[in-house]
A and B are shown apart, each in its own frame.
Chain A
Amino acid sequence: MQPSILILGFGNPGRVDDGLGPALVEGIRVRNFENVSCETTYQLQVEDAAEVANHDLVVFADATTEQGQPFYFRPVEPDPDPSFSTHSVTPGAILALARQAFGATCNAWILGIRGHDFNRFHEGLSAESESDLQTALGFLAPWLLAQGLEPSEDSVDRTNTRALP
């Protein structure tokens, strides 16, 4: 049985590379994986815990200011952070809420993609981050297949001519 997987990208596409998380989600969405739900949001909110609880595996996608590698992929641990604010909720806090309030048993990862430009009001990624995004997609798509998923028959990129990794 294929696991149900949620790809939840967050960030503000109006602030250049802060939109990396949503951009990654769109890159996965066009591949039409079965059993993969693609969601985007500006920032994580408590109600995301309900959606997380509905899946077996969750991948949070976000921009990162870490500059060493094009992306990182790390497990998320539940983090009941008492400094919780609705203006800033972490993936760990969402996972903790999902487990506590909904009895979720899912595992989660965070995919952080290197951002280079966050300081302008502009829709669209910087050239450097566009490259890093492709590298991250090149990792994530096979990773999804390795979880036992099958690409659907119409698994083609309908939005541009980008080659599938």
Chain B
Amino acid sequence: MVISNETKRIVIEPLTRVEGHGKVTIHLDENGEVQRTRLHIVEFRGFERFMQGRPFWELPVAVQRLCGICPVSHHLCASKAVDFFVGGQNLTPTAEKMRRLMHYGQMYQSHALHFFHLCSPDLLFGFDADPATRNVFGVADKFPELAKQGILMRKYGQEVIKATAGKKVHGTGAIPGGINKNLSIAERDELLVDLPQMILWAQGALEIAKNYTLDNLDLATKFAAFLSNHLCIVRADGALDLYDGGLRAIGPGGATIFDHVDNRKYLDYIHEEVKPWSYMKFPFIRSLGTEDGWYRVGPLARINACDFIDTPLAEAARQEFMAVTDGKPNNLSLAYHWARMIETVHSIEKIEELLNDPDLQGEDLLSTGDRKLEGVGIIEAPRGTLFHHYKIDENDQVLMANLIVSTTSNNEPMNRAVESVARRYLSGKEITEGLLNHIEVAIRAYDPCLSCATHAMGQMPLNVELFDFEGQKLHGLSKGIAQ
């Protein structure tokens, strides 16, 4: 942490227990009140540029390098887009169910990792607890059974991924138009052994998240709580569907903004704004404009926007969740944890459903059809809606790649969360580690992966400016900004 008295600028860097490297700046006015805050992203990947000129069949494997934590989401999302290049978007039952099993394994392990190892220290010890103990090792020390469950839930999800993708990290299961393997009886039976335990542990985690939210509802209604739109994909009947569906957006009160939008038409509904101070773009709903069109994605948005969940335990939990806000969307950032654990239960229920489906032992793995030169894939990644959009030429080389990752969609909400918390906890008060952690807690609720959320090198405006409380620019450095 750096506090500069001369400039009244507070810098928190780096953020801990946030994937990637972010920076927050807080600008104070002359009275020491928070004037504005910004969440800065200081890393970029540049995959949209890297992939240009590459053969399209490399995409599902190459894009996984965006992230070591959710490579499966990128693998499957790119595969959905690439399916169009072989006319294989109507998958065989075996191929679709294998991909879904892979995806639910990813969702289960990622949510478990995030909840137990990144967020539970805040919930179990309190935001103001000593950072030396408010971490995963503190959890392992005081709550070893919980830590063990978190590790083994993550491990189970990784085993599901290995059985479907061939490897735990950077697998190759999904290929254009299908999948390259089915699930053997031996693989299925091995996964079935631990399944009952995994369901019980997911339910236990759900209880922790629910009880935390309900026990701290007063805090939750004040902590980074703000109205927003919510966006996700839903199944044709309105059910939560993490793998496939049409785009739905609702307003803060639940009113429909658009619904069941064909994935290939996403650009008619979503635009991205570039701001000079951030590597990350700011997506917004086109019909509402930049001021009002920003939206949340991720577990909170999905639970808010879906009509129901098609697995019994998760649906019961969803109804309990929605009852807190009388059926209206929940706009509390801290409620992300509860929503995330509902999805964890849903994911393990879907894994159970799929493991008992004989289609997974089918032999028909590939489909083909009329080839297209443009493909769009949208999937619900653990952190939120993920868009992959590619165009290729007649030689199968990638001409254009556009990715909107979930952390990018949550860019504006995370900035609002930071500002909300800063205004409440930092203005005119002594700055402590505990107070600073409130900001990190707000960011962590969104489960951001900052490292994969940025775009092509050279196109990203980078502008570093230093202002005093009178608005006088003390120093500035710009890069990549058109003059």
Partner-contacting stretch, out of A37-45, A123-131, A155-163: A37-45
Min CB gap B438→A, angstroms: 17
Contacts of A87 in B (CB 8 A): 19-20, 68-69, 451
Contacts of B135 in A (CB 8 A): 80, 82, 84
Contact across chains for A80 and B137 when beta carbons are under 8 A apart: yes
Interface size class of A (residues with CB under 8 A): 20 to 34
- The residues in B between 151 and 175 inclusive whose CB is less than 8 angstroms from any CB of A are 151-152, 154-155, 158, 168-170
Contacts of A57 in B (CB 8 A): none
A100 touches B (CB below 8 Å)? yes
Contact (A100, B144) CB under 8 Å given A41-B168, A47-B155, A86-B69: yes
- The residues in B between 120 and 179 inclusive whose CB is less than 8 angstroms from any CB of A are 131-132, 134-137, 140-141, 144, 147-148, 150-152, 154-155, 158, 168-170
Contacts of B68 in A (CB 8 A): 42-43, 86-87
Closest B residue to A43 by beta carbon equals: B68
Min CB gap B88→A, angstroms: 27
Contacts of A102 in B (CB 8 A): 148
Contact (A46, B150) CB under 8 Å given A82-B16, A86-B69, A87-B20: yes
Contact (A84, B155) CB under 8 Å given A41-B168, A42-B170: no
A49 touches B (CB below 8 Å)? yes
Closest A residue to B113 by beta carbon equals: A86
B36 touches A (CB below 8 Å)? no
Min CB gap B363→A, angstroms: 31
Contact across chains for B148 and A101 when beta carbons are under 8 A apart: yes
New A-B contacts (11) at CB < 8 Å, excluding given A80-B140, A97-B136: A42-B170, A46-B154, A80-B135, A81-B137, A82-B134, A84-B137, A85-B18, A86-B19, A100-B147, A101-B144, A102-B148
Selected from B134, B137, B140, B169, the residue in CB contact (under 8 A) with A42 is: B169
A69 touches B (CB below 8 Å)? no
Closest A residue to B132 by beta carbon equals: A82
Contacts of A96 in B (CB 8 A): 137, 140
Q: Closest 10 CB pairs between A and B?
A: A80-B137, A100-B140, A47-B155, A101-B147, A82-B135, A101-B148, A101-B140, A42-B169, A47-B154, A46-B151
Contact (A50, B20) CB under 8 Å given A41-B169, A86-B117, A100-B140: no
What 1/0 mask marks residues of chain B from 84 to 104 whose CB sits below 8 Å from any chain A CB?
000000000000000000000
Contact across chains for A47 and B151 when beta carbons are under 8 A apart: yes
Closest A residue to B110 by beta carbon equals: A86
B439 touches A (CB below 8 Å)? no
A67 touches B (CB below 8 Å)? no
What 1/0 mask marks residues of chain A from 38 to 76 whose CB sits below 8 Å from any chain B CB?
000111011101100000000000000000000000000
Min CB gap A88→B, angstroms: 10
Majority secondary structure of chain B interface residues (helix, strand, loop or mixed): helix
Contacts of A41 in B (CB 8 A): 168-169
Contact (A85, B17) CB under 8 Å given A41-B169, A46-B150, A46-B154: yes
Min CB gap A67→B, angstroms: 27
| Distance between Cα atoms of A82 and B140 in the complex (Å) | 12
The residue among A84, A85, A101, A103 with the most chain B CB atoms within 10 A of its own CB is: A101
| Distance between Cα atoms of A72 and B138 in the complex (Å) | 31
Closest A residue to B118 by beta carbon equals: A86
Min CB gap B329→A, angstroms: 30
A residues lining the B interface (CB < 8 Å): 41-43, 45-47, 49-50, 80-87, 93, 96-97, 100-103
Contact across chains for A49 and B151 when beta carbons are under 8 A apart: yes
Min CB gap B114→A, angstroms: 9
Contact (A101, B69) CB under 8 Å given A85-B16, A86-B118, A87-B451: no
| Distance between Cα atoms of A49 and B155 in the complex (Å) | 10
Contact across chains for A83 and B16 when beta carbons are under 8 A apart: yes
Closest A residue to B114 by beta carbon equals: A86
| Distance between Cα atoms of A84 and B119 in the complex (Å) | 12
Contact across chains for A47 and B158 when beta carbons are under 8 A apart: yes
Contact across chains for A100 and B151 when beta carbons are under 8 A apart: no
| Distance between Cα atoms of A100 and B143 in the complex (Å) | 9
Contacts of B155 in A (CB 8 A): 47, 50
The residue among A82, A87, A93 with the most chain B CB atoms within 10 A of its own CB is: A82
Contacts of B20 in A (CB 8 A): 87
Contact (A50, B113) CB under 8 Å given A84-B136, A100-B137, A100-B141: no
Contacts of B451 in A (CB 8 A): 87
Contact (A82, B131) CB under 8 Å given A46-B117, A47-B154, A100-B140: yes
| Distance between Cα atoms of A50 and B148 in the complex (Å) | 8
Min CB gap B299→A, angstroms: 18
Min CB gap A59→B, angstroms: 20
| Distance between Cα atoms of A100 and B451 in the complex (Å) | 30
Contacts of B147 in A (CB 8 A): 97, 100-101
Closest A residue to B71 by beta carbon equals: A42
Contacts of B131 in A (CB 8 A): 82
Contact across chains for A82 and B69 when beta carbons are under 8 A apart: no
| Distance between Cα atoms of A42 and B71 in the complex (Å) | 12
| Distance between Cα atoms of A83 and B121 in the complex (Å) | 13
| Distance between Cα atoms of A93 and B138 in the complex (Å) | 12
Min CB gap B124→A, angstroms: 14
Q: Please list 18 pairs of residues, one from A and one from B, whose beta carbons are closer than 8 Å in the complex, sorted by A's number.
A: A41-B169, A42-B170, A45-B158, A49-B151, A50-B151, A50-B152, A82-B134, A84-B135, A86-B19, A86-B68, A87-B20, A87-B69, A93-B137, A96-B140, A100-B140, A100-B144, A101-B147, A103-B144
| Distance between Cα atoms of A43 and B136 in the complex (Å) | 18
Contacts of B137 in A (CB 8 A): 80-82, 84, 93, 96-97, 100
